[in-house]
Amino acid sequence: ESKLIEDVRNHRIDAGMVIPEDFGEKVFYGSSNLTIYVYAGDVQREQLVNGMLSRFIDILNSRISKYKIEYSLKYIPPDIGVDLDLIRNVLYGIAKPVNASVHEVKPKSIASRGGLIGWYTFGAIGMVMLYTGFDIGSIMIIRERDLGTLNRILSSPVSFTEILLGKTIGGVLILCLSAFVSVLVGLAFGAEIYWNPLNILDWLLILDIILTAIFTIGVGLIISLFAKSSSSASGVSVVLGLILSFITGIWLPKWMLPKWMQVLADYFPATWGIEVIRRIVIFRVEYVEVLPDIFKLFIVAIATYLIGAYIYNRVARRYAEE
């Protein structure tokens, strides 16, 4: 048993079962115990293994109970005046009072290969929003300084705010175009993606993408406060995007994450954006069901962008004084 525990702990095997020597005898005359060890270092694999083992034990119990009942009925004389079928049903009811059948009901949009590709296509859009959005915002002002064009821009009659708005609009267009290209690539691989211009719900999808883009650009502007160069700003953006991608539902569904990461995901605005996209395109919910999340995303995106705009003006003035 100690060797088994060591192998499971070192992940040489996913799980192991300790069967006592007198297991068969105890099961035949009563009941027996099994000890199961499952590797818990991988949450997803642990859940899968637990499910498989639970199903195995359930089937084993059912078959043993059936065998014991049928074996016992052989020793009941047929002429005792009691219906054997009634006794059989009572004993089966004691052994397994509830018989449940589970049927998977998948949304039509992901019940096929094309639907699954569509699901991951919108995950790719989430990656674009995080990585590219953070990067666009973080290098808005630093890149101009590194290229030596900042003084030329500052000498023009336009204000910092006008420059920021122009760059922001350009950044949002780049992100929307990237999302569009991601959809085209997904369609090329057979993704099933539907968009109806006559449906108000599908227009909320575009609004959601724009708000998510504004939020990520705002976060990028905040990153620029701590960056010394465009390369360091891009590096921080990539690392932060990679870390946050795990709580946005891009790599794994939220329910597979550890509890503390699920809490972060519930309060991370980019998660709201990706969830809204999938609920609209995949689950085809009513628009009233996504309005609360879009409203929350709108408030947080604007607030984050305003904070980033303040930081942008502060950094720009600091560079202008150098």
pLDDT at 225: 85
Is residue 149 located within the same domain as residue 295?
yes
Which of 32, 65, 95 corresponds to the end of one domain?
95
pTM over 0.85: no
Based on the fold, state whether residues 45 and 151 are members of the same structural domain: no
Same domain, 68 and 117: no
Residue 12 shares a structural domain with residue 91: yes
Q: How far is residue 213's CA from residue 277's CA, in Å, rounded to a whole number?
A: 13
The reply to whether 66 and 32 lie within a common domain is yes
What is the pLDDT, as a whole number, of residue 20? 87
Domain assignment present for 191? yes
Domain that holds residue 28: 2-95
Q: Is 248 helix (H, G, I), strand (E, B) or coil?
A: coil
Closest alpha carbon to 277 in 188, 183, 189, 185: 183
pLDDT given for residue 78 in this prediction:
75
Give the end of a domain, one of 29, 62, 95. 95
Shared domain for 151 and 251, answered yes or no, is: yes
Report the pLDDT value the prediction gives residue 209, as an integer from 0 to 100: 93
Q: 88 with 132, same domain?
A: no
Query: Does 224 reside within a domain?
Result: yes
For residues 13 and 297, what is the distance between their CA atoms, to the nearest angstrom? 44
pLDDT, mean of each 10-residue run, the chain (322 residues): 87 88 85 88 80 88 88 80 80 79 63 76 88 92 77 74 90 94 90 80 90 95 87 89 83 75 88 86 80 94 95 81 68
Q: Does 48 fall in a domain?
A: yes
Same domain for 41 and 112: no
pLDDT (0 to 100) of residue 117: 83
Q: Is residue 101 part of a domain?
A: no
If asked whether residues 185 and 229 sit together in one domain, one would say: yes
**Torsion angle in degrees (nearest 10) through CA of 45, 50, 51, 57:** 150
Question: Domain total for the chain?
Answer: 2
Residue 21 maps to a domain: yes
Final residue of a domain: which of 69, 95, 121? 95
Closest CA to 318 of 135, 129, 150, 171: 150
Whether 100 is covered by a domain: the verdict is: no
Q: Are residues 41 and 151 in the same domain?
A: no
Residues 230 and 313 in one domain: yes
Query: Does any domain span residue 103?
Result: no
Residue 112 φ then ψ, to 5°: -130, 170
- Looking at the fold, whether 227 and 317 belong to one and the same domain comes out as yes
| Residue 118 is assigned to a structural domain of this protein | yes
pLDDT of residue 108: 59
Which candidate, 133, 121, 159, places its Cα nearest to that of 221? Answer: 133
